[in-house]
Structure 1
Amino acid sequence: MNRIIDILIPTYNRCEFLAKNIQLLVQQISEANLQDQVAICVSDNCSSDHTQATVQELIQANPTISIYYHRQNTNIGLEPNVVDLMGRAVSPYVMWIGDDDYIADGYLAYCVAQIQEQNIGCIIPGLKNLNADGTVVDARNESFASKTYEPGYETMWAISHLAHQMSGILLTRDSLLESYLDKPAYRNPYLFIFWTADCLFRLGGIYAPIYKTGITTFNAKDWGYNQVGLLDEVFKSYYYFESKVSPIQLRELLLRFSKMHSYRYNIRKYEPLKLLKKYKILCSTLPIQLRGFNYHLALHLIKDYAKSWL
């Protein structure tokens, strides 16, 4: 088997968006002659719409493209569906895509070329937001088209937080699922952060903001934020490294994500008591002692709260 990438798409009740996604992927695969190297794998979390019939029609309409469809008997939840889908992958690399997100033209061929040229742990794309009014807002506007990062803690600290948005991320599949399942207490819906961080730590990777994945911003999600913006869940992805990095390094990973994604605190003027409550909740969820974490987090939140008055 010459296949090197399995494109993995977990889905639930987004039939029209999923169909568009698959059609665009089929177009990229065909135009770059990647039929023998790339497969599309869909895991349907027991959708109640026409997802099953639609995907079956797409399979029949594209006989030269490897499209695989699996339907869960019941809705098993977001994270279990992702874990199940990862377990069904067979290629050495996997690319994750949300059912309503769309990778950039040429990105798939770029990933294949990079895999063939070098041993990489992952590739992280850029982003653009697709809004309900039809506007497109570019994000991750870096000063470079792409950059290669060496393996190690510094790389993990610098860019692993970008994996909070999983669409378009390419990962080497080797040992990721086994490592994740090895610590069930740390399983969380942001498992892509752990997988990406692990690849960066062990093998390094590429950040290619020139290839911007289109992120649909207006669809309702099958989940919601808790009082601390699910930061307590995000942090679990970094707890996996407690035996691989120092306590100070682990603390800095958590603070780095917190600072880069402080919108999750929903900091508002005139609501200091609510912010204090969120701070206490988050600090109380830490399963391990990290010296100075509470102090540095408090400083960060105080600074962000002061900015809300400007």
Structure 2
Amino acid sequence: MAMLAICIPTFNRAAQLKANLTHLADLLSRHDVEVHVSDNCSTDDTGAVVASFRERSPRIFYHRNATNVGMDGNFAVALGLANTPYVWLLGDDDVVSEVTLGGVLELLADETYDLILLNGGHPDPDRGRVQGEPSRDFHDPERLLVELGWHATWISSLVIGRRLLGAMDVPTYDGTYFSHFIALFGGMAAIGQPRVRWHAPSSFHPSHLASFSWTRRVIEIFATRWSQAVRAIPGPYSAEARQACIRAHGVRTGLLTMVGLLNLRAKGGLDLAEVRRHREALAQCSPCPWPLIVAIAAIPQSWLGTVRRFALRLRRPPSPEAPPAPAEAVETARFPFRQTALDRLTGDHARSAER
């Protein structure tokens, strides 16, 4: 039996899935890995796309839901499709390199882990979205929540062992938009001292076909619903650890920093009504003071080009001769993963809205 199954939830994204399966089919010819596709009742030609690959590879499997069970529901279905010791939950538009796949298989062959948490976001192994966190083992779920919990929202970062899968109750959190995350940390709390490996090299990256459809819901999803999800994790996580995780997502992704909010305002995803509606959550998730958030939401569209250029200038690390930069600029410079495309800021979770 294969050691690893790559499980891909998808919905109406045949082009992205085809590109991904083309790449994976080549890898399957050299590695003993299964690929399972969970189709959330797509209305495009997803089924035909997968069928064409199944004719070439017996290691590619296809499941179609009778009805659309929603994003969280399809995550749960995908996780249950394989019987392998490990399951890698992969976004349908995330690309895995052969070097990465070989490295993950080496890890699984040498040790027994409950979870391998993978860095990702860039084809260069040294340029993943998580910077400054060397590869290491974790045994304390609370420490993992504080230091890297924010990154575990990206479904493609998760290679989950059978013991942890058995402790995860994904269906209970259906409709939260973060069911996989809540169940993951709830399962680790149930185990007590899980064995987790953080793998620092960037191991996957969005393909050129990656897309983002949540622009007008970013504040709702990644402020209000995100903070609710972290608080919903079962287990003895401290209030301080939960708050640290809540804040880390907005800061480390850059989504709710000054520059991130300016990008969101430019794309039409931020206005005064939205920030007022989610004021409490924004106070927990964003490093920006409330008056600055309101000011950004009120900036006329015609001014945004000038304001964004000024904000980007603040992000540049100062030269040795320059005076100290403002605190916001220093904080941003510490975390260099700052691309303007919202799908790169939020990771694959946001691109999976209907999978």
Match of 1:169 among 158, 171, 176: 158
- Contact between 2:249 and 2:285, CA under 8 Å: does it hold in 1? no
Distance 1:282 1:10, change over 3 A: farther
**Superposition deviation, residue 94 in structure 1:** 0.9
Q: Whose strand fraction is larger, Structure 1's or Structure 2's?
A: 1
Distance 1:74 1:224 in 2: 26
Instruction: Indicate the percent of aligned positions where both proteins have the same amino acid.
Output: 18
Could you say what secondary structure the match of 2:203 adopts?
A: strand
Tell me how many residue pairs correspond in the alignment: 284
In the other structure, the counterpart of 2:102 is: 109
- Contact between 1:28 and 1:106, CA under 8 Å: does it hold in 2? no
Q: Deviations over 1:77-135 (max 9, x none)?
A: 222111122232322211011112111222222112112212222231322289xxxxx
In the other structure, the counterpart of 2:25 is: 26
Distance 1:193 1:268, change over 3 A: same
Match of 1:247 among 214, 239, 242: 239
Q: Amino acid of the residue matched to residue 97 of structure 1?
A: L
1:215 equivalent in alignment to 2:206: yes
**Superposition deviation, residue 174 in structure 1:** 2.9
1:98 equivalent in alignment to 2:95: no
Could you say what secondary structure the match of 2:29 adopts?
A: helix
In the other structure, the counterpart of 2:251 is: 259
**Superposition deviation, residue 50 in structure 1:** 1.9
In the other structure, the counterpart of 2:340 is: none
The worse-fitting range, judged by mean Cα deviation, of 205-214 and 54-63 is 205-214
Distance 1:207 1:228 in 2: 28
- Contact between 1:181 and 1:187, CA under 8 Å: does it hold in 2? no
Distance 2:286 2:62 in 1: 47
Q: Whose helix fraction is larger, Structure 1's or Structure 2's?
A: 2
Match of 1:39 among 30, 34, 47: 34
Distance 1:297 1:20 in 2: 35
Structure 1 segments unaligned to the other structure (5+ residues): 131-136, 285-292
Distance 2:112 2:255 in 1: 35
- Contact between 1:17 and 1:99, CA under 8 Å: does it hold in 2? yes
**Superposition deviation, residue 40 in structure 1:** 0.6
- Contact between 1:86 and 1:177, CA under 8 Å: does it hold in 2? no
Q: Deviations over 1:206-260 (max 9, x none)?
A: 3334243121365444655526241222234322435411222222222222332
Distance 1:181 1:54, change over 3 A: closer
Could you say what secondary structure the match of 1:31 adopts?
A: coil
Could you say what secondary structure the match of 2:217 adopts?
A: coil
TM-score by length of 2: 0.67
Structure 2 segments unaligned to the other structure (5+ residues): 296-306, 312-355
- 1:50-129 matches, within 5 Å, as 50-63=45-58, 66-120=59-113, 121-128=115-122
**Superposition deviation, residue 197 in structure 1:** 4.0
In the other structure, the counterpart of 2:327 is: none
**Superposition deviation, residue 278 in structure 1:** 2.4
In the other structure, the counterpart of 2:225 is: 233
Distance 1:236 1:252, change over 3 A: same
Q: Amino acid of the residue matched to residue 153 of structure 2?
A: H
CA RMSD between the two structures? 3.6
